[in-house]
Structure 1
Amino acid sequence: GRVIGLLGQARAQVEAGAGPEEVLWTLWSGGRHPHGWSERLRAAALAGNRSADHDLDAVMALFDTAARLAGRYPGFLGIRTFVEMLTSQQIPAESVADRGVRADAVRILTAHRAKGLEWDEVWVVGVQEGTWPDLRERGSTLRAEQLSADGIGAGPRAADLLEEERRLLYVACTRARRRLHLSAVDSPDDSGDRPSRLLLDIAAHLGIEVGRARAGRPLHPTSLDGLVAELRSIAMDDSGPAELRAAAVERLAVLAGERDDRGRPLVPLADPESWWGVREPTGAPGPVRDPEEPLSISGSMLDTVLACPLAWYLQREVHAETPRGTATSFGSIVHAVADFVAKGEVPAELGAMEAEVDRIWGELSFEARWQSEAERVEAREALRRFLGYHERAERELLETESGRRARVDVVTPSGVEETVTVTGFIDRIEQDDSGRLVAIDLKNMRNIVPVKDIPEHGQLGIYQLLLQRGEDPSVAEESGEAPEPAALSEVETDPARETGGAALVQLRIDEGRGSTQARVQFQEPLVPDDSGRTWIESRLGEAVEVLRAADVVATAGPACTYCAYARTCPAQPEGTPVIP
């Protein structure tokens, strides 16, 4: 009865749309039907049971995988998709999962799984620095690797890890009876991949040179997916010989019909039902935003909408987001410490600021220790630049992290009048000698905004508009980005008040010409044109027309260099449709 009750609770969570982590935790803890398995497993592991310790590590790995995939596909990863991803993994981590392999098949294994096995010919791939040897710190849930005869130590040294990796490579290489192939990537970029020191040691020991493959794509595909892609390309090439196209179709049919022992397709990509682009394009049922719903536009949203509507749509509307990198966390930490200093919660001293950073820096995830150390140095320099700006005090600081909103009447390029809600969070509000308010945005970008873009930088223009028009507490919350009423600014503003401009303070970039102060990019105050409107109101009108349109258009521009959607963008060569 307890098991049935637990499964029923988990099923109810799945049907309610719960994520994998929530369902896994219910099964692990027992939810409303405690089973005690987790406590028994922990007790057995602490008693020295290696199998229980291994099982705990496996459970932790399962939760880590769920968390990683949930972060990669926010809002889309359900328990069914999660299970499908796990079952589709092609390299088994456990011996019990590796069964039913035919003797004449090519086997893909980890070095650990290959122990005790031999083949006439073996390929060991990925023998490059950072991958083999992998000198990152590692360990099990109970940190058994830190135990020694003298008690608990610091764990394996880097030299010990290197020797372990060397022995593991030896195991991989000695699986070959007749011929052994080792390969690595040698990137032409200074910061790219390099062949492993272990590969070079082997070559030096044998007295041979490491051969270099020709750069570029191989003449023929070297993977099953690549083979399917080449066959598809041949089959759909109207200018190709009919016999060649027929042969490609025949081979695709053979691949699509292959099944494993459980009846699952071995080459699902060969099935035309799985191909993208062969069906008729779908049409938009209506505008991007409901015409009956009011629009809300934030400072960060405006520039994205106008620079490339497709990128904005994929990121904000579809939530096809890429994982947040350490650069985002870097900026969040520096912003938080800067705010603490401005509010007097942390002394305006570099040592105290660094102590606050160190308190949470260890929570960031970096691929390598050197990256963490390099970014930590960058964080120190960013804090130093902020402290210099803060202490210089060219204007009086009134408020930090101020959430504001206002209603603005705009006219679209087509002549349609509409009222939009403008929202934004301003890092610092300062007041100049003339009593004018100045919006300050702290930036942690590696790349500076071009000087020519500052006069009509959308985010700064929005901030000026918010300072000029003030906030309207009666405006309903119409956007997930709009500030809560409790977060609204307490600084009173006059709708007719003149602003003193706005500025980006670049905390990662020096002012130049020998100065180590933060570079400040200043935008002049808003000035109405002959029609009584400012340039930012015109830009808002352009954004409204985009949001009210039925189609989103890909627009090429400078941001394409860093765009996460370039490979699927029709405005880029790599995103051009290849299916007629």
Structure 2
Amino acid sequence: AGSGERDADEAPTGLGEHGVDEAPARVGEYDADEMADRETHGPRSSGELMVAALKDARELVRVEPHVAQPAERLAGLISAATEAVGKGGTAEDVLWAVWQATGLARKWTDISLRGGVRGLMADRDLDAVVALFDHTARFVDRLPHAGVDVFVEDLVAQEIPGDSLAERAPDGDTVRILTAHRSKGLEWDVVVVAGVQEGAWPDLRLRGSILSTDDMVARAEGSEHENPAAVSAALASQLLAEERRLFYVAATRARKKLIVTAVGGDDTEERPSRFLTELVPGSTEDAGVDERSRWLSMPALVADLRSAVADSTRPEPLRRSAAEHLARLAASGVPGAHPNEWYALTPISDDRPLSWPDDIVRVSPSAVESFSKCGLRWLLETSVGAGGTDVARGLGTVVHALAVLAATGMPTEETLGKRLDDVWHELDFGGVWYNRKQRAVAEEMISKFVRWHEENPRELVGLEEAFTAMVSEGVQIKGRVDRVERDGEGRAVIIDIKTGKTGAKDSELERHPQLGVYQLAALLGAFQRHGLTEPGGAALVQVGDAAGKKAAKEQAQPPLGDDPDPNWAKDMVGTVAVGMSGPFFQAKVNDGCRTCAVRSSCPVSKNGDQVC
């Protein structure tokens, strides 16, 4: 958060002249009443804009089509529901109208029939829709004249599913899965007690709360143990006795046959429970996994058949038979059965280089740093829009905005606090207590910045200033800086305010990519309108946790002219521009992998093993 790079115009638009659609933004008109309302009430918040877009499709006319489509689909569903309500339909009628408008019935059914992981997800989605219709039907039966608003309030107010919790008689031969507590008083011919592992059964972890109520109760009853360790040992002994009684309940539910299972071995940390030896000493049987066995699932079957077909050491009749089965499964649409879907046999979807508008590669300072660390992450986050969104980014944006106010003459920190109150309700931190904590963090960062600003000896020239600079033919630097300052020698000093938890290492500052690109832009005349043509350095001003508790921390980069290689920043931008316009993007392991939002699509990440 707080990189200072908030210019969305730097991203490429597609792949080649026949790649991603580069349709221009649509232009629309608004009626006079709406324009007058905007002038009266001022700019709208993001929440108000979202509500307006869902109510009126004209709000989306200036948005790119691929961005507007999801909102347009949702607006269509709202319109269908509104129309059904206008016709006097019940909650069940409105729900049916919305379901029909989604067009998901056939799509999810087809995916479900194909099986696999996506088939299971489609099954769950369809089950959820059926359950919602059942609940709606019961609600309409109970309150036939209640409106949709009453139904929605009833549904939102539920903390426990409204389905009946009463026991129902099973139909035919069934298997019941339940906890040991629920099995009390019941019996079956065959009972399986699975997963009897040490640490899970018995589970001797103390069940007390943060306030250690068990300890307080024991002391209130006059426990002879005053030593906390002795009290804990006594509680653990009681837990062991309770767990043993519970295991006895589970083991005595069988009329004819009892099967108790556990796993363990020399090469694993898992150990069978001590209750196994107490049950029937010396009667346990070891069982192993047969390498020839497989899971009874469609993906496992496809994997076995593919393995047989691809193994040249297998008998020819076996390979031919496996190929016939794969062909039959592929004809039925089973994922992974057709050779076109096998790994290493699929061609690269598009090997053409990435195209840019007007054949000009627009490089931002933050993108240079991001691309230098990992080209694949830059591509997926910047060009494809796969980057994560978190509250830290919103907090950083608020702090940057207040930093601008502080630098333009806002009188006191108290006034800044009031402005913070005006926007704080727009941020959602997921909990009241965390909201209060983040509010204190924001106030601390603002206080650090104000003190740094007051002690800064350089002259402030520009705030939140956009800039462009041509590096060479077809390569342009484009971005936005937090602050442009003039030092005592009349040189440009670029300041980037950082609100993150970690800062740059001191050893990295001399060749810090983002600061180097800022200086290169100044050298190329990006701030010539202020009379600044020579860079005098750049700096990161840390106001977050990276700065410490009391004061902001300024991490400065010396001027490009003082470096043994003054052209290092220009060479770096040229190399990055070539990479950004190429057909291939390399994934690199770096210190940002742990928090990367695209780990599941990265071949060097454990979470992305499936793409290797």
Shorter-chain TM-score: what band? 0.5 to 0.7
Deviations 1:251-287 (A, max 9, x none): 54554455xxxxxx4x3443444445423446734x4
Relative contact order (C-alpha < 8 Å, sep 6+): which is higher? 2
Shift of residue 557 of structure 1? 3.0
Shift of residue 463 of structure 1? 1.8
Residue in structure 2 matched with residue 91 of structure 1 by the alignment = 123
Residue in structure 2 matched with residue 313 of structure 1 by the alignment = 379
**Would you say the 8 A contact 1:469–1:494 is kept in 2?**
no
Shift of residue 247 of structure 1? 6.6
Residue in structure 2 matched with residue 439 of structure 1 by the alignment = 494
Which residue of 403, 411, 423 maps to 1:338? 403
Which residue of 508, 511, 529 maps to 2:544? 508
Deviations 1:199-253 (A, max 9, x none): x9xx98992499998899x998768464256436634653764477667556545
Query: Distance in 1 between the 2:441 and 2:409 partners?
Result: 21
Query: Distance in 2 between the 1:170 and 1:274 partners?
Result: 45
> Alpha carbons of 1:332 and 1:572: their partners in 2 closer, same or farther (altered >3 Å)?
same
**Would you say the 8 A contact 2:497–2:542 is kept in 1?**
yes
Shift of residue 41 of structure 1? 0.1
> Alpha carbons of 1:291 and 1:439: their partners in 2 closer, same or farther (altered >3 Å)?
closer
Query: Distance in 1 between the 2:110 and 2:478 partners?
Result: 45
Give percent identity, aligned residues only: 23
Deviations 1:405-433 (A, max 9, x none): 22235xxxxxxxx5632122111233445
Residue in structure 2 matched with residue 451 of structure 1 by the alignment = 506
Shift of residue 390 of structure 1? 1.9
Query: Distance in 2 between the 1:445 and 1:221 partners?
Result: 48
**Structure 2 matches for 1:56-135, cutoff 5 A?**
84=107, 88=111, 90-91=122-123
Ranges in structure 1 where 5+ consecutive residues have no aligned partner: 1-8, 31-36, 64-79, 99-108, 117-139, 148-154, 189-193, 259-264, 410-417, 472-488
1:360 aligns with 2:426: yes
Query: Distance in 2 between the 1:85 and 1:399 partners?
Result: 55
**Would you say the 8 A contact 1:443–1:506 is kept in 2?**
yes
Which residue of 568, 574, 598 maps to 1:535? 568
* Partner SS, residue 90 of structure 1: helix
Which residue of 517, 521, 532 maps to 2:551? 517
* Partner SS, residue 539 of structure 1: helix
Residue in structure 1 matched with residue 177 of structure 2 by the alignment = 180
Residue in structure 2 matched with residue 105 of structure 1 by the alignment = none
**Would you say the 8 A contact 2:603–2:611 is kept in 1?**
no
**Structure 2 matches for 1:345-424, cutoff 5 A?**
348-349=413-414, 351-361=417-427, 364=428, 369-370=430-431, 373-374=433-434, 377-393=437-453, 394-395=455-456, 396-409=459-472, 418=473, 420-424=475-479
Shift of residue 448 of structure 1? 3.0
Task: Count residues with an aligned counterpart.
Answer: 435
Shift of residue 298 of structure 1? 0.8
Residue in structure 2 matched with residue 304 of structure 1 by the alignment = 370
Shift of residue 509 of structure 1? 0.9
Shift of residue 342 of structure 1? 3.5
* Partner SS, residue 449 of structure 1: coil
Residue in structure 1 matched with residue 311 of structure 2 by the alignment = 238
**Would you say the 8 A contact 2:601–2:608 is kept in 1?**
yes
Query: Distance in 1 between the 2:244 and 2:101 partners?
Result: 41
Query: Distance in 2 between the 1:441 and 1:503 partners?
Result: 6
Amino acid across the alignment from 2:466: G
* Partner SS, residue 19 of structure 1: helix
Query: Distance in 2 between the 1:233 and 1:450 partners?
Result: 50
Amino acid across the alignment from 2:177: L
TM-score (norm 2): 0.55
Deviations 1:325-371 (A, max 9, x none): 3333333333334334434579633632441342312xx4x6xx44x
1:51 aligns with 2:83: no
* Partner SS, residue 122 of structure 2: coil
Query: Distance in 2 between the 1:94 and 1:205 partners?
Result: 42
**Would you say the 8 A contact 2:499–2:542 is kept in 1?**
yes
**Higher Cα radius of gyration:** 2
Amino acid across the alignment from 2:396: G
Shift of residue 288 of structure 1? 3.5
Ranges in structure 2 where 5+ consecutive residues have no aligned partner: 1-56, 112-120, 139-146, 180-193, 200-204, 209-238, 251-260, 270-288
Residue in structure 2 matched with residue 25 of structure 1 by the alignment = 75
* Partner SS, residue 551 of structure 2: strand
* Partner SS, residue 541 of structure 2: strand
> Alpha carbons of 1:330 and 1:44: their partners in 2 closer, same or farther (altered >3 Å)?
farther
Higher helix share: 2
Which residue of 246, 270, 279 maps to 1:207? 246
Shift of residue 26 of structure 1? 5.2
1:279 aligns with 2:384: no
Amino acid across the alignment from 2:366: S
Shift of residue 454 of structure 1? 2.4
Query: Distance in 2 between the 1:453 and 1:42 partners?
Result: 64
Query: Distance in 2 between the 1:172 and 1:527 partners?
Result: 81
**Would you say the 8 A contact 2:517–2:573 is kept in 1?**
no
Q: CA RMSD in A?
A: 5.4
Residue in structure 2 matched with residue 492 of structure 1 by the alignment = 530
TM-score (norm 1): 0.58
**Would you say the 8 A contact 1:461–1:536 is kept in 2?**
yes
Query: Distance in 2 between the 1:90 and 1:172 partners?
Result: 28
Query: Distance in 1 between the 2:83 and 2:553 partners?
Result: 56
**Would you say the 8 A contact 2:108–2:126 is kept in 1?**
no
* Partner SS, residue 454 of structure 1: helix
Amino acid across the alignment from 1:295: V
Residue in structure 1 matched with residue 184 of structure 2 by the alignment = none
Shift of residue 561 of structure 1? 3.3
**Structure 2 matches for 1:162-177, cutoff 5 A?**
164=160
Which residue of 47, 62, 85 maps to 1:41? 85
Shift of residue 403 of structure 1? 0.7
**Would you say the 8 A contact 1:235–1:248 is kept in 2?**
yes
* Partner SS, residue 443 of structure 2: helix
Shift of residue 289 of structure 1? 4.5
* Partner SS, residue 532 of structure 2: coil
Amino acid across the alignment from 1:400: L
Which residue of 505, 510, 518 maps to 1:463? 518
Amino acid across the alignment from 2:346: R
* Partner SS, residue 123 of structure 2: coil
Amino acid across the alignment from 1:359: H
**Would you say the 8 A contact 1:383–1:507 is kept in 2?**
no
